[in-house]
Amino acid sequence: MNNHIVIMAGGIGSRFWPLSTPEYPKQFIDILGCGRTLIQLTVDRFKGLCPMENFWVVTNAAYVDIVRKQLPEMPVNHILAEPAARNTAPCIAWACWRIKGEDPGANVVVTPADAVVMNPEEFRRVIGNALAFTEKSDAIVTIGIKPSRPETGYGYVEVESGHTPQSLRDSSPILGEQLADAEISKVAAFKEKPDLGTAEKYLAAGNYLWNAGIFVWNVKTITEAIKTYKPNIASDMERMKTVADVQEVFPQCEKISIDYAVMEPAAADGRVYTHPADFGWSDLGNWASLHDKLQKDSANNGAVGKVDLYECKNCVVHAEEASKVVLQGLDGYIVSAKGDRLLVCKRSEEQRIKEFSQK
């Protein structure tokens, strides 16, 4: 079975202003200062699992030229240009219907473009396990990240009580045979982003994982699941046989996430599994998560660019385009310079950045 990778790259990254803008969002930026953009790093970590001709990117129509420039080896007809943002369910459905048209036996990984993985070798091992699992089953697999803290910014995956990996190997109502991989467990439910008290309970319980939004399935399984749980979206996909139909039909698709559309009802029907993982994942959704991933100095400052810090602590600075930045006496600040835009904001007020950028 051929492996295909679907990269979702349509977001605008408004929480990373001024580094990320609607015209040039964070997935196309070298946000870690490593010489590769987030979407390029996403492709890099799948090396060896999938040939370049089997990569797909679903993105906003405005970003197609950026994708072509940053991923020149990818087939141009595998860049799917959304004429309107309709959330992840129509995005994933479109890609999977297209893949099924080219390769009806395909095995598919769906991933966001803007996550960070610090251990790509372990990532490839986990994804390889999941692909081997879905190749011979009708299971839907989500990658669950082992939590390191009571995080309130992520959704959670609850592993079904009593369905340890070993017990799954003994019996499975979905596969009807022994499971090949002892690391994969059955999902009981998906949980929304919790408050702190609930997150602490999840961490203590030990059977809750962060929902990374990385999915693995064979193309027949997911298209049949969408037909079952969201027949209206499946019908829209059948109509989208030409570019003209895409322009007409896609903006009319129901705006809904894949979690609500498929994952939650499929989990309730006992069809979803998870592979617990620990490969240094972050969704890199805000400045706090960037600070967490950057190398810090002795005063807990993380910086990208030619930055000199004096008597500063607990800051995150991104000024890659500037020839020199000097900061003195700051404690707990975000400083970002991009083009003619500059942000200086307390880290404690980060949630207001989207508001600031829209003034």
Q: What CATH number corresponds to the domain at position 165?
A: 3.90.550.10
Residue holding tokens 């002892």? 182
Q: Which domain holds residue 314?
A: 293-357
Per the structure block, which two tokens stand in for 190? 């998906």
* Residue 105 Cα distances to 2, 84, 96, 177, 219, angstroms: 7, 29, 11, 21, 7
Please indicate, yes or no, whether residues 167 and 239 belong to a single structural domain of this protein.
Answer: yes
Strand partners, 209: 157
For residues 57 and 87, state if they share a domain.
yes
- Whether the pLDDT of residue 163 is over 70: the answer is no
Which of helix, strand or coil describes residue 179? Answer: coil
Closest CA to 7 of 116, 144, 155, 113: 113
Kindly state the tokens that stand for 285.
């959704």
For residue 69, the model assigns a pLDDT of 97
CA distance 223 to 215: 14
Q: Which of 254, 282, 310 is the last residue of a domain?
A: 282
Model confidence over 218-232: pLDDT tens digits? 999 999 999 999 999
Average pLDDT over residues 45-68: 95
Which of the 8 DSSP states describes residue 259?
I
What residues contact 351, with CB distance under 8 A and at least 6 apart?
none
36 in the same domain as 123? yes
| 127/142 Cα distance (integer angstroms) | 10
Split into its structural domains, the chain has a count of 2
pTM for the model: 0.90
Domain boundary among 282, 302, 335: 282
Longest Cα pair distance anywhere in the chain, in angstroms?
A: 64
| Span 291-342, pLDDT tens digits | 988 999 999 999 999 999 999 999 999 998 889 999 999 999 999 999 899 9
CA distances for 358 relative to 14, 21, 349, 355, angstroms? 10, 11, 16, 5
For residues 302 and 236, state if they share a domain.
no
Provide the token pair at 12.
């605008």
* Residue 288 domain-assigned (yes or no): no
Q: What's the confidence (pLDDT) of residue 12?
A: 82
Whether the pLDDT of residue 180 is over 60: the answer is no
Residue 192 and residue 139 in one domain: yes
In 3D, which of 98, 21, 13 has the Cα closest to residue 339?
A: 21
- 160 plus 252 within the same structural domain: yes
Which residue's entry shows tokens 């372990």?
Answer: 122
- Average pLDDT of every residue of the chain: 90
More confident residue, 243 or 115: 115
Is 245 inside any structural domain?
A: yes
322 and 234 within one domain: no
Q: pLDDT tens, 184-217?
A: 999 999 999 999 999 999 999 999 999 999 999 9
Are 337 and 269 in the same domain?
Answer: no
Clarify whether residues 230 and 353 are in a common domain: no
Q: Residues 99, 219: contact at Cβ < 8 Å?
A: yes
The reported pLDDT for the residue numbered 284 is 85
Residues 167 and 301 in one domain: no
